Amino acid sequence: MRIDLRSDTVTRPTPGMLEAIMNAETGDDVYKEDPTVNELEDRMAKLFGMDEALFFPSGSMANQAAIKLHTNPGEQLICDKWAHVFNYEGGGASFNSGVSCKLVDGDRGMINAAQVLNAINPPDFYHSPLTTLVCLENTTNKGGGACYELDTIREIREVCDKHQLGLHLDGARLMNAIVAKDQDPKDFGSLADTISVCFSKGLGTPLGTVLVGKKERMKNAIRVRKILGGGMRQVGYMAAAGLYALDHHVSRLSEDHKRAKEISEVLKESDFVRKVEPTETNIVIFYLNENLSEEKFINDLKGEDIHISNMGDGKLRIVTHLDYTSEMHSKFLDVLKNYK
């Protein structure tokens, strides 16, 4: 029994999802003639109370398009030092948009209004790049699935309004936050200018991210997607998977969260673990004692066909998901409890 906890991207479509894919009505989405893509975009825009939505092949492309829509070359965005847009999108912010990132030393990947305010370059000081965008991540990936309080985002929004900055939310796992904290998606829609939401993480589809946003911001979104090579044809098959996921895979995220908490509790009791970050959603980040290397621990788990991620800086990551069954969960907890 292979137990793959490296990421929530490793899931395969369920039989129900495959059936939805097989039965999808499709058309050419570059002509905006795919009814299933149109339906998914419509539904996502309504869910977040946003004007528009656009389907992308990946979360990185949706984030990169958003950065492009908000900035001009030479400008600067503000994000946490662990942000996905800075660390894990291949340098796309500079490659695609010609912008630099001002990194903020946040808490578990989350930043606050005072830090944002402090990171803004004075607009009339022409020696520095012009600050035009703030990128937040919810939940945070490298920060261990941490969730923002809405009030924190509200305060950041006020700073953005005062200093004419755009606000993009990288919501690859926003649904996890919404379920964990019992929040209303429309609250995020009312605070951010653009939000990307992944379907291929906890929601379990093979691909797809929807970017939702305000009309003024989304004006060139379809052109930017085309430039990035993201114009897709009969992609309604994948949008059908997304619609299926909205119906069947959202509320069940709480099961992933419960199992992640249980893993976290066992790790906290283990004498080979130095520290476990607070576990709010489906990601567990922990650190080993000095005398046990990450490589050895990961290899020992591999011996049991259990796979987890090394995030560098001593961080190990476990991510629970749709394909992590209760049988796997019992075995994994046993292996951890008996680890020597």
The beta-strand segments (E) located in the chain are 3-4, 52-56, 76-80, 100-104, 131-137, 166-171, 194-198, 209-213, 273-276, 283-288, 306-307, 309-312, 315-319
Residue 225 in contact with ligand PLP, rule: CB under 6 A: no
Q: Is 6 helix (H, G, I), strand (E, B) or coil?
A: coil
Please, which residue, 52 or 170, has the CB nearer to ligand PLP?
Answer: 170
Q: Is-contact 271 235, C-beta < 8 A?
A: no
271-279 long-range Cβ contacts below 8 angstroms, 24+ apart: 272/297, 272/339, 277/108, 277/143, 277/144, 277/146, 278/108, 278/144, 278/146, 279/144, 279/145
Residue 87 in contact with ligand PLP, rule: CB under 6 A: no
Cβ 161 to ligand PLP shortest distance, Å = 25
Residue 315 in contact with ligand PLP, rule: CB under 6 A: no
Beta carbons within 8 Å of 51's beta carbon, 6+ residues apart: 45, 213, 214, 215, 218
Residue 4 in contact with ligand PLP, rule: CB under 6 A: no
Radius of gyration of the chain (CA): 20
Which residue among 66, 172, 243, 283 contacts ligand PLP (CB under 6 A)?
172
Q: What residues between 45 and 84 interact with ligand PLP by CB under 6 A?
A: 58-60, 63, 84
Which residue among 198, 239, 276, 322 contacts ligand PLP (CB under 6 A)?
198
Residue 96 in contact with ligand PLP, rule: CB under 6 A: no
Phi, psi (deg, nearest 5) at residue 127: -75, -30
Cβ 80 to ligand PLP shortest distance, Å = 11
Which residue among 170, 256, 280, 294 contacts ligand PLP (CB under 6 A)?
170
Residue 34 in contact with ligand PLP, rule: CB under 6 A: no
Q: Count of residues binding ligand PLP (CB under 6 A)?
A: 12
Residue 320 in contact with ligand PLP, rule: CB under 6 A: no
CA distance 130 to 73: 10
CA distance 250 to 237: 19
Please, which residue, 130 or 315, has the CB nearer to ligand PLP?
Answer: 315
Cβ 300 to ligand PLP shortest distance, Å = 27
Cβ 163 to ligand PLP shortest distance, Å = 25
Contact positions vs ligand PLP (CB under 6 A): 58-60, 63, 84, 137, 141, 170, 172, 198, 200-201
